[in-house]
């Protein structure tokens, strides 16, 4: 279980830590902490329990409308602001002596949307958070992605962390071309995060997207998997549910067992961050979730 993490978002929740964390887990992924006390509690717990910290950018909640860095923006001023925000956070993290194992950023940002898909039910914080594929060329995507990879590689060497890009909604530039794989092979310190719930949700809303194919294509480049399930049906979506073996795709659940089978084949040492709402299940079912995932990845 040294590959497993739990999340702490918004605050360092001592009750969640005591209920969800296990002493043989890899660590905690933190995001949007609101106070200095939360930062100190995270650092102190990491030292006392000898676990690693992963950071989901931004670590500190600065009250911004868009929390993500828009490093692929068509607007050069927005791109400069994005890199500045990341740099400021890297400096603060260094001052806090959190020594994160990885720092994760949503990618691509802005999201590049397939014009053929109805995105009205996809969550966006602000109109600046997305651009349509018809307005954003493949060459722009390739150039700005390589600029990002080059910059993050330098920062990772300077500050000593693994840069991780978590896929947001994706278009054919990512799932139908080989350019991102080429860049991942060129800039080998850059790694990915695959979010099981988000990938499945896009498959249910985007007829051109196949989540299993995407997992097969990119699992080998993953540093961490954000693992949670959702049940999708007519008129409802059950979100952020802990994964359990009885959740059948025939009943609208994501094919978690198939994802885990591919991940075990392609990347057996990848980290698993349980990005679920543990309060939705009993203590017994939470333990069953941990045990099932461990068995799926090792048996």
Structural domain count, the chain: 1
Radius of gyration of the chain (CA): 19
Check whether 64 has a pLDDT greater than 90: no
Cβ 226 vs Cβ 195: under 8 Å = yes
As given in the structure block, the two tokens for residue 117 are 């898909």
Residue 145: give the domain boundaries. 4-298
What confidence score (pLDDT) does residue 299 get?
77
pLDDT tens digit sequence for 110-127? 999 999 999 988 989 899
What confidence score (pLDDT) does residue 194 get?
98
Beta-carbon neighbour count of residue 248 at 10 Å? Answer: 11
Question: Is residue 283 helix, strand or coil?
Answer: helix
Residues in the chain: 299
pLDDT tens digit sequence for 186-209? 999 999 999 999 999 999 999 999
Which pairing describes strands 111-113 and 130-132: parallel, antiparallel, or unpaired? parallel
Local confidence band at 103 (pLDDT 50, 70, 90 cut-offs): very high
What confidence score (pLDDT) does residue 1 get?
61
Check whether 21 has a pLDDT greater than 80: yes
pLDDT tens digit sequence for 141-189? 999 999 999 999 999 999 999 999 999 999 999 999 999 999 999 999 9
**Residue 78 exposed, middle or buried by CB count within 10 Å (0-12, 13-18, 19+):** middle
pLDDT tens digit sequence for 33-57? 999 999 999 999 999 999 999 999 9
Which pairing describes strands 236-241 and 229-233: parallel, antiparallel, or unpaired? antiparallel
Cβ 93 vs Cβ 55: under 8 Å = yes
- Among residues 11, 15, 163, 139, the alpha carbon closest in space to that of 89 is found at 163
Residue 76: give its domain's CATH number: 3.20.20.150
């Amino acid at each position: 279980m040294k590959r497993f993490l739990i999340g702490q978002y918004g605050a360092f929740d001592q009750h969640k830590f005591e209920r969800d964390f296990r002493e043989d887990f890899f660590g905690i992924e933190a995001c949007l902490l609101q106070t200095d006390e939360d930062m100190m509690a995270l650092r102190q717990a990491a030292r006392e329990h000898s676990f690693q910290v992963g950071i989901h950018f931004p670590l500190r909640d600065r009250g911004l409308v868009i929390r993500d860095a828009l490093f692929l923006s068509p607007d050069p001023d927005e791109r400069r602001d994005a890199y500045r925000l990341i740099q400021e956070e890297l400096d603060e993290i260094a001052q806090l002596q959190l020594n994160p194992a990885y720092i994760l950023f949503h990618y691509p940002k802005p999201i590049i949307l397939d014009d053929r898909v109805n995105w009205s039910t996809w969550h966006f914080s602000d109109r600046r958070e997305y651009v349509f594929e018809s307005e954003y060329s493949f060459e722009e995507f390739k150039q700005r992605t390589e600029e990002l990879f080059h910059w993050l590689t330098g920062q990772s060497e300077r500050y000593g962390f693994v840069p991780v890009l978590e896929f947001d909604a994706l278009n054919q530039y990512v799932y139908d071309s080989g350019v991102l794989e080429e860049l991942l092979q060129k800039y080998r310190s850059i790694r990915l995060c695959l979010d099981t719930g988000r990938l499945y949700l896009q498959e249910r809303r985007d007829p051109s997207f196949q989540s299993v194919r995407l997992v097969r294509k990119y699992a080998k480049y993953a540093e961490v998997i954000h693992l949670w399930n959702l049940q999708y049906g007519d008129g409802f979506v059950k979100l952020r549910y802990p994964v359990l073996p009885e959740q059948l795709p025939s009943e609208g659940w994501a094919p978690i067992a198939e994802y885990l089978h591919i991940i075990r084949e392609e990347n057996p040492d990848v980290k698993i961050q349980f990005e679920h709402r543990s309060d939705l299940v009993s203590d017994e079912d939470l333990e069953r979730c941990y045990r099932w995932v461990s068995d799926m990845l090792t048996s």
